[in-house]
């Protein structure tokens, strides 16, 4: 897992490294400056560089970088956007060093005369809207169209939530230090950050003390991560001596009358995600189509006008067979669907993925989440989450991680909040942020595929806190492969399904998981 930090967490790591571990702040600043110059020389036109600096330590990083560029023979000039009387001690020292080396300092530069701008105005500490002189400066720099390299965070972006603080500067690349900042990955901040490059500058990334404690343990409140390739080792190796029951049995409860597409996508995704067997509990009218689309699945069915006792009996038989259930895609919100969701939460005791109409039904009786014995993964999009929480979509979009922390604090579930940047809060564990995927995945049936993948991973026995973030990442990888082959505009849910085997092949090639005797 790769750690993602907020502004406050980054400050604590900084302070810990300096105060507890004894690394001088100027050493960290020099290493940050070196990282900036290396990335700039590699990715930007160094014909003439303007380094725009604030008064804080972000400005100190910029001043030090300007010196290194100047000494390397790059035509470099510093523009001080802040006030000298507001310098931090480290920035004051860097300014004096730059003066002694004769680094050119300009008073009123025309940004259009430069080939590259280095943005070192505000760092992770920005907490209020950009106004006045700074607002005008950011707009002027942005309007110039000159490529920008941002130091740590683009000026005007909230490093914790990705909000635009009044106005902000668009960067082609952001060089950030030690850990990725959440605000660089969440929208709208991600639209301003460009390519995000994380560089090691000597900050103690885990905050480990000499006594072995940790500032940010995996289960501490506010911890955020993103999945890396190595995390697929959570999945157990395929047993070459296994049978279809070995790899898990998934019950997909989906599809009201003539709504068989959602059931197909979820069921096939479960099989492709590794489940050994899948049954689809669906409305009787869907039987013929589903048998043709997915002959690998078993098909117990019910009628929408089924008596409640008969419906419970049929559902109970299907649940008893399964290791895991996934419910909701295409179910509708009628009486039969309501009874099914209620029974699954109240009686099944099996791990459950709840999606789509299942979530809409759940929003009417959320108390079931506090009473259920089933480990649950919820997979709402923004509209469904709004119905579950009563919060407007705008509030969810402004702070998705915070809203999930609050919701999962009230209800013992793992929740996947689907959006351009999908955020997953695990039950009793950290938040995961997904940065893969593409706009083509915003297509009918894509969420049903994710539901099925999550169920397939649950069937592997890894638990909901690992199955959920892994499923989101896996789904996004498949979407990216599909978009590469088909293009984003024409991407279909079936294309995502078709890409799943290629994801497995890539992961198996690079990271094993081939199974043992």
Is the bond into 188 cis (omega within 30 degrees of 0)? yes
Indicate where the chain has its CATH 3.40.1190.20 domain(s).
Answer: 240-383+435-511
Which residue ranges does the chain devote to CATH 3.40.50.10260?
Answer: 2-217
**Is 424's pLDDT higher than 60?**
yes
pLDDT for residue 143: 98
Helices and strands counted in the chain (H then E): 19, 19
How far is Cα 300 from Cα 317, in angstroms, rounded to an integer?
A: 9
Q: What is the pLDDT of residue 206?
A: 62
Q: Residues marked as binding for AMP?
A: 418-422, 447
Q: What is the pLDDT of residues 113-161, one digit of tens each?
A: 999 999 999 999 999 999 999 999 999 999 999 999 999 999 999 999 9
- Predicted pLDDT of residue 218: 56
pLDDT > 90: percent of the chain: 93
Looking at the predicted structure, is the pLDDT value of residue 463 above 50? yes
Contact criterion met (CB below 8 Å) for 401 and 187: no
Give 227-258 pLDDT, tens digit per residue: 999 999 999 999 999 999 999 999 999 999 98
pLDDT (0 to 100) of residue 210? 41
Please give the average per-residue pLDDT across 278-285, as a whole number.
98
Known binding residues are: 57-61, 119, 123-129, 134, 152, 155, 262, 330, 381, 418-422, 447-448
The predicted-structure confidence for 294-322, as pLDDT tens digits, reads as follows 999 999 999 999 999 999 999 999 999 99
C-alpha 67/C-alpha 167 separation (Å) is 29
Residue 235 has which token pair?
């999945």
Which residues are 53's β-sheet partners? 80, 120
Q: How much is the pLDDT for 288?
A: 96
The pLDDT value given to residue 207: 56
Q: How far apart are CA 367 and CA 208, in angstroms?
A: 40
**Measured distance CA(387)–CA(369) in Å, rounded:** 15
pLDDT at 219 over 70: no
| Range 2-217: architecture per CATH | 3-Layer(aba) Sandwich (3.40)
Q: What is the per-residue pLDDT for 222?
A: 73
331, pLDDT greater than 70: yes
**Range 436-444 average pLDDT:** 98
Confidence at 170, pLDDT banded by 50, 70, 90: very high
* pLDDT value for 220: 56
Would you state the pLDDT for residue 508? 83
Give the pLDDT band of residue 213 (cuts 50, 70, 90). very low
Alpha-carbon distance 53 to 76, whole Å? 13
Instruction: Give the per-residue pLDDT at 512.
Output: 55
**What architecture is domain 240-383+435-511?**
3-Layer(aba) Sandwich (3.40)
CB of 368 within 8 A of CB of 347?
Answer: no
**Beta 49-53 vs 105-106: how paired, if at all?**
unpaired
**pLDDT range class, residue 464, cuts 50, 70, 90:** very high
For residue 514, pLDDT beyond 80: no
Residue ranges of the binding site for (6S)-NADPHX: 57-61, 123-129, 134, 152, 262, 330, 381, 448
Residues with Cβ within 8 Å of 406's Cβ and at least 6 positions away in sequence, in order, are: none
The Cβ-side half-sphere exposure at 510, using a 13 Å CA radius, reads 11
223 or 174, higher pLDDT = 174
Specify the pLDDT at position 204. 82
Pick out the residues of the known binding site for K(+).
Answer: 58, 119, 155
469-512 per-position pLDDT tens digit: 999 999 999 999 999 999 999 999 999 999 999 999 999 876 55
Q: Within its chain, how far is the Cα of 148 from the centroid? A: 25
- pLDDT of 216 strictly over 60: no
Cα separation, 110 vs 199, in Å, equals 30
Chain segment 189-203, per-residue pLDDT in tens = 999 999 999 999 999
Gap between the Cα atoms of 513 and 232, Å rounded: 8
């Amino acid at each position: 897992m790769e750690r993602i930090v907020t502004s406050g967490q980054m400050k604590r790591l900084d302070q810990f490294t300096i105060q507890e571990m004894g690394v001088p702040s100027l050493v960290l600043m020099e290493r940050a400056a070196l990282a900036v110059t290396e990335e700039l020389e590699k990715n930007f036109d160094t014909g003439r560089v303007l380094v725009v600096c604030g008064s804080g330590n972000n400005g100190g990083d910029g001043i030090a970088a300007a010196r290194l560029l100047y000494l390397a023979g790059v035509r470099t000039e510093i523009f001080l956007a802040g006030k000298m009387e507001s310098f931090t001690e480290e920035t004051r020292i860097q300014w004096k060093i730059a003066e002694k080396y004769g680094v050119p300092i300009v008073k009123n530069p025309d940004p259009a005369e430069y080939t590259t701008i280095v943005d070192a105005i505000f760092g992770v500490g920005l907490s209020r809207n950009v106004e006045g002189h700074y607002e005008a400066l950011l707009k002027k720099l942005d309007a110039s169209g000159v490529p920008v390299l941002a130091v740590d965070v683009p000026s005007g972006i909230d490093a914790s939530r990705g909000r635009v603080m009044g106005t902000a500067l668009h960067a082609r690349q952001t060089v950030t230090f030690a850990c990725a900042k959440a605000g660089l990955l969440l929208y709208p901040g991600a639209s301003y950050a460009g390519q995000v490059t994380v560089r090691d500058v000597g900050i103690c990334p885990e905050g480990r003390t000499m006594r072995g404690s940790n500032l940010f343990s995996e289960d501490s409140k506010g911890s955020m991560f993103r999945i890396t390739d190595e995390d697929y080792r959570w999945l157990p190796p395929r047993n070459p001596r296994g049978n279809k029951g070995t790899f898990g049995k998934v019950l997909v409860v989906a599809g009201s009358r003539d709504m068989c597409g959602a059931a197909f996508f979820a069921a096939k995704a479960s099989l492709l995600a590794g489940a050994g067997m899948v049954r689809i509990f669906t409305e009787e009218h869907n039987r013929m189509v589903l048998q043709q689309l997915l002959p690998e699945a078993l098909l117990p069915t019910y009628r929408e006008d089924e008596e409640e006792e008969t419906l419970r009996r049929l559902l109970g038989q299907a649940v008893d067979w399964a290791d895991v259930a996934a419910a909701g895609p295409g179910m509708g919100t009628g009486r039969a669907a309501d009874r099914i969701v209620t029974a699954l939460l109240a009686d099944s005791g099996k791990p459950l993925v709840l999606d789509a109409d299942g979530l809409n039904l759940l929003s009417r009786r959320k108390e079931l989440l506090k009473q259920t014995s089933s480990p649950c993964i919820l997979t709402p999009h923004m509209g469904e989450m709004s119905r579950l929480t009563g919060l407007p979509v705008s509030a969810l979009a402004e702070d998705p991680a915070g809203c999930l922390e609050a919701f999962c604090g009230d209800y013992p579930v793992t929740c996947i909040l689907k959006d351009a940047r999908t955020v997953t809060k695990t039950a009793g564990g950290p938040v995961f942020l997904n940065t893969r995927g593409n706009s083509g995945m915003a297509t009918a049936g894509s969420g049903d595929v994710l539901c099925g993948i999550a169920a397939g991973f649950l069937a592997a026995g890894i638990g909901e806190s690992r199955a959920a973030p892994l499923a989101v990442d896996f789904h996004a990888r498949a979407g990216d492969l599909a978009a590469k082959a088909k293009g984003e505009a024409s991407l279909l849910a079936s294309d995502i399904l078709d890409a799943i085997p290629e994801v497995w092949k890539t992961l198996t090639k690079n990271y094993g998981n081939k199974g043992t005797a």
